[in-house]
Amino acid sequence: MSYEIIRDPLWNNIRVDPVALRLVDTPAFQRLRYVRQLGLAYLVYPGASHSRFEHALGAYHLAQRALALFDERDLERELGPDACRLVRCAALLHDIGHYPFSHALEEIGALHHEEVARPLITSGAVATVLREELGRDAPERIMALIRGESDSPLQGLISGSLDLDKIEYLKRDAFMCGVNYGDIDAERLLDSLRLVRDPERDTLTVGISEKGLSALESLLFAKYQMYRNVYWHHAVRSATAMYKRLVDGALRAGSLDAATLASFTDEGLLEELARRAPSPLLAALRERRLYKRLFECPAAELPADAGEWIADDRALVVAAEDQLARELGLGPGELLLDYPVKTQMLGLDIPVLRRDDGVRRLTEAGWEGAINLPRLSEELYGSARWLRVFACRRVPVLREAVMELATLTAGEVAERIERKKLL
């Protein structure tokens, strides 16, 4: 089999097999060249202009590396070549459905990018390549891997506690941003991967050797550090809140069609907004005149579940933003609320091959002598996730009033909006 070599700043040489090369050359995959991996983070970290295209190639490269290590242990022979080819393609295609500027539009209720990927993988040019090269059911089997629903023993490489996507994006994002928070020991992690028999389910699955646990812990901490310092950086969240309000407003006005969002590139969507829904907010975002913080509070200082309506109920958030803006002498869209959607900070559920060759499942409950992961996860959330209020200009706002607002239920907020008094 002949391979093409693609030079990459992170992994150096990526060897691309003929099937992957055909997939890379499809229009759906080429669009990823123009979708930034970190959304609007480039407005804060200028080097963060890398794309989903690069990340997808990196995930494919790590899949090749992991499978080569398994092959050294004669495991590919046990699994069969089809399972390995499907995993390589799933790693390559896992982000093909991403919206412009990464995950932001999922925060306003847009269909999850994995579901957007389904028609792109199961029909059109990508499906044609997969069926010709890997069999008629290949698109559906790859979608099952991407969705975490496959019965393949290799499922954990694509979706799981130690999936290759996570290793790749943490390494690449830290490298491109010029920070060392995500500088994890990828070599150690890959070398520690094992196919083990799950003691609870009696099935072969991806696990890790006990000697790799320290590298796994470093990955979990790197994820937290990247969320705190890059993904949820206050200026990144300001730009993201502005972008969400722009697109949400255009969708509500009928200027954009939700069904076409995933067909745009980053700049293509901004150009479409400029043509169909020009506004001062759009001009401010494109000229990097980001909204300023009027208020911020870490989740650790809020009661449990406080403010979740800001992350979950988009229509209520827009109504609350506009009511708050009126009360503070601002116009519609000139004040924004932000509370990132809660993500699984330290999700962990993986079998560990012990030094005595026994297998034990490590979950968030941890085990004796190990880190108390559930408590640690909540503590890390409390310091990484912040409730913020942004506005186009600085106006006085009472901290106590905003804190009270955050503790209200969605129903109570709606009632106050009806009375036209939030603060």
**CB-based contact 49:115 (threshold 8 Å):** no
- The string of DSSP codes covering 29-74 is HHGGGGSBTTGGGGGTSTT---BHHHHHHHHHHHHHHHHHHHHHTT
Q: Tell me, what's the pLDDT at 343?
A: 74
Instruction: Give the pTM.
Output: 0.94
Q: Tell me, what's the pLDDT at 363?
A: 73
Per-residue pLDDT band for 361 (boundaries 50, 70, 90) equals: confident
Measured in residues, the chain has a length of: 423
Query: Mean per-residue pLDDT for 371-396?
Result: 80
Residue 359 lies in a domain: no
In the predicted structure, residue 1 carries a pLDDT above the cut 80: no
**CB-based contact 358:263 (threshold 8 Å):** no
In the predicted structure, residue 157 carries a pLDDT above the cut 90: yes
Query: Mean per-residue pLDDT for 231-238?
Result: 97
Residue 94 lies in a domain: yes
Query: Mean per-residue pLDDT for 344-350?
Result: 71
192 with 291, same domain: the answer is no
225 with 241, same domain: the answer is no
Q: Tell me, what's the pLDDT at 181?
A: 80
Residue 352 lies in a domain: no
Residue 51 lies in a domain: yes
Residue 132 lies in a domain: yes
Residue 15 lies in a domain: yes
| Mean pLDDT, rounded, of the chain | 91
**CB-based contact 401:423 (threshold 8 Å):** yes
CATH of the domain at 157: 1.10.3210.10
Structure tokens at 139: 């698109």
188 with 265, same domain: the answer is no
In the predicted structure, residue 79 carries a pLDDT above the cut 80: no
In the predicted structure, residue 375 carries a pLDDT above the cut 80: no
* Helix/strand/coil for 353: strand
Q: Tell me, what's the pLDDT at 175?
A: 95
pLDDT tens digits along 273-293? 999 999 999 999 999 999 999
Structure tokens at 378: 């909540």
Q: For the beta carbon of residue 315, count every other beta carbon within 10 angstroms.
A: 12
**CB-based contact 72:78 (threshold 8 Å):** no
213 with 284, same domain: the answer is no
In the predicted structure, residue 374 carries a pLDDT above the cut 60: no
186 with 213, same domain: the answer is yes
In the predicted structure, residue 367 carries a pLDDT above the cut 70: no
For the chain, the domain total comes to 2
**Last residue in a domain, options 203, 232, 261:** 232
227 with 256, same domain: the answer is no
**Last residue in a domain, options 175, 199, 232:** 232
pLDDT tens digits along 286-327? 999 999 999 999 998 998 889 999 998 999 999 999 999 999
**CB-based contact 53:37 (threshold 8 Å):** no
In the predicted structure, residue 116 carries a pLDDT above the cut 80: yes
48 with 135, same domain: the answer is yes
147 with 283, same domain: the answer is no
127 with 187, same domain: the answer is yes
Angstrom distance (rounded) from CA 319 to CA 296: 20
In the predicted structure, residue 84 carries a pLDDT above the cut 80: yes
pLDDT tens digits along 172-221? 999 999 998 877 889 999 999 998 888 777 888 999 999 988 888 888 88
**Last residue in a domain, options 169, 201, 232:** 232
Q: Tell me, what's the pLDDT at 262?
A: 94
Q: Tell me, what's the pLDDT at 333?
A: 96
Residue 372 lies in a domain: no
Q: Tell me, what's the pLDDT at 346?
A: 62
Query: Mean per-residue pLDDT for 371-398?
Result: 81
Structure tokens at 11: 């992994």
**CB-based contact 199:360 (threshold 8 Å):** yes
200 with 267, same domain: the answer is no
Q: Tell me, what's the pLDDT at 398?
A: 87
* Helix/strand/coil for 98: coil
In the predicted structure, residue 48 carries a pLDDT above the cut 70: yes
For residue 251, the enclosing domain spans 234-342+382-418
Q: How many CA atoms lie within 13 A of 254 on its CB side?
A: 0
- Strand 193-197 and strand 204-209: the pairing is antiparallel
Q: Tell me, what's the pLDDT at 216?
A: 85
Query: Mean per-residue pLDDT for 63-92?
Result: 84
Strand segments, DSSP code E, in 232-317 are: 292-298
Per-residue pLDDT band for 371 (boundaries 50, 70, 90) equals: low
- The string of DSSP codes covering 118-179 is HHHHHSHHHHHHHHHHH-TTHHHHHHHHHTT----TTHHHHSSTT-HHHHHHHHHHHHHHT-
Q: For the beta carbon of residue 266, count every other beta carbon within 10 angstroms.
A: 19
- What is the distance in angstroms between the CA of the first residue and the CA of the last residue of the chain? 67
**CB-based contact 374:393 (threshold 8 Å):** no
Structure tokens at 165: 């996507």
76 with 161, same domain: the answer is yes
Distance from CA of residue 209 to its chain's centroid? Answer: 27
* Helix/strand/coil for 16: strand
Q: For the beta carbon of residue 76, count every other beta carbon within 10 angstroms.
A: 17
173 with 271, same domain: the answer is no
